[in-house]
Amino acid sequence: MMARFLVVLASMLALLGLTAWQAAAPAPAEQKSLLAEIKDKGELRVGYAVADPHQFKDPSTGEWKGIAVDIMSNWAEVLGVKHVPVDTSWETMIQGLEAGNYDIAAALNRRPARALVVTYSIPYMADRGVFTVDRNKSQAHTWADLNRQGETICVVQGTAEDKSLTAIGTQAQLLRLGDQNECRIALQSGSATAFFDDISGQAKYAAANDWVRLIVPDPVLQLEGIGFAIRKGYSYDDIQALDIQIENWVNNGLLTAAQAKYGLPNWEPFTQR
């Protein structure tokens, strides 16, 4: 009888203890929803920095255009909100996202260090770093030809290409400038021997300028997926919705159409110049 009483008493004390702990324990914080914030504002704010063909400004209108811009503009339609481009730079892209200046950072290379501070979408394209040189001034055809003292390689400051060459280490001098156009001017003027950047934009530039030769490093120096990023702390539903938007573009011909629209050529002939 006493043993049965002790069992019942222990059970009651355990239940009381559990109830007291539940009452004292703080309620779990409700997870933030980026989709809800976007819909409440009625606008999808996207941070863009120049990276043709992903995102660039139309010189005649000043409006943002490009593959990433089209993906985000279409997603705004799906969400039933206004697409609002926000100007930024590659050097300040992550800081602007963390500060809440925009909801999405566009066309970011998926890098391990960045993944610690932002949440990435799945990639919609791959970024392979390649060099452009002026074939009328340079005899270089390989990375070994460029990676020498006396050579100057331009990179856009803060980009994946900048970080890749910095991590690898070079014999050549690195010239860090603010955007693609500044590096291309440096290449034309001769203040840079080569320009290291994303293969898509480099091939497009070579197609428009017959003095440009592409050098595609083998083995690869830099190859990364390109996607979008949101701030940490949002629900899985938010990034899943963005992933499915990208998946729809990749799998249903929309990405291929956008690549054709913005003139992505076959890059291989430009290596033979």
Paired sense of beta strands 223-231 and 173-177, if any? unpaired
Name the strand (E) or helix (H) holding 68.
helix 67-79
pLDDT of residue 108: 95
User: Is residue 65 located within the same domain as residue 93?
Assistant: yes
Say how many C-beta atoms besides its own lie within 10 A of residue 84's C-beta: 15
CA–CA separation, 77 vs 182, rounded Å?
34
**Could you give the dihedral angle defined by the CA atoms of residues 150, 156, 158 and 160, in that order, rounded to the nearest 10 degrees?**
-90
Residues 6+ apart with CB under 8 A from 51: 66, 68, 90, 107, 159, 180, 198, 201
pLDDT of residue 31: 79
Per the domain annotation, does 18 fall within a domain? no
Residues 6+ apart with CB under 8 A from 86: 45, 46, 47, 48, 96, 101, 102
**Exposure pattern of 201-222 as b/e (b: 16+ CB <10 Å)?**
bbbbbbbeeeebbbbbbeeebb
- Enclosing domain of residue 180: 128-215
- Cross-strand bridge partners of residue 129: 198
pLDDT tens-digit profile of 157-172?
A: 989 899 999 999 999 9
User: Is residue 136 located within the same domain as residue 208?
Assistant: yes
DSSP label at residue 31: P
pLDDT of residue 102: 98
**CATH value at residue 202:** 3.40.190.10
User: Is residue 207 located within the same domain as residue 235?
Assistant: no
Per the domain annotation, does 38 fall within a domain? yes
Q: How many domains does the chain have?
A: 2
Q: Which amino acid is at 230?
A: I
pLDDT of residue 29: 56
pTM above 0.85, yes or no: no
* 115 vs 8, residue with greater confidence: 115
The token duo for 273 is: 């110049």
pLDDT of residue 35: 97
Say how many C-beta atoms besides its own lie within 10 A of residue 166's C-beta: 12
User: Is residue 42 located within the same domain as residue 72?
Assistant: yes
226: left (phi over 0), alpha (psi -120 to 50) or beta: beta
User: Is residue 106 located within the same domain as residue 232?
Assistant: yes
Per the domain annotation, does 15 fall within a domain? no
pLDDT tens-digit profile of 214-266?
A: 999 999 999 999 999 999 999 999 999 999 999 999 999 999 999 999 999 99
- pLDDT for 25 beyond 80: no
Sign of CA dihedral 32, 120, 106, 160: positive
CA–CA separation, 42 vs 171, rounded Å?
51
- pLDDT for 34 beyond 50: yes
User: Is residue 72 located within the same domain as residue 200?
Assistant: no
- pLDDT for 18 beyond 50: no
Per the domain annotation, does 211 fall within a domain? yes
User: Is residue 121 located within the same domain as residue 186?
Assistant: no
Per the domain annotation, does 2 fall within a domain? no
Say how many C-beta atoms besides its own lie within 10 A of residue 270's C-beta: 23
Per the domain annotation, does 162 fall within a domain? yes
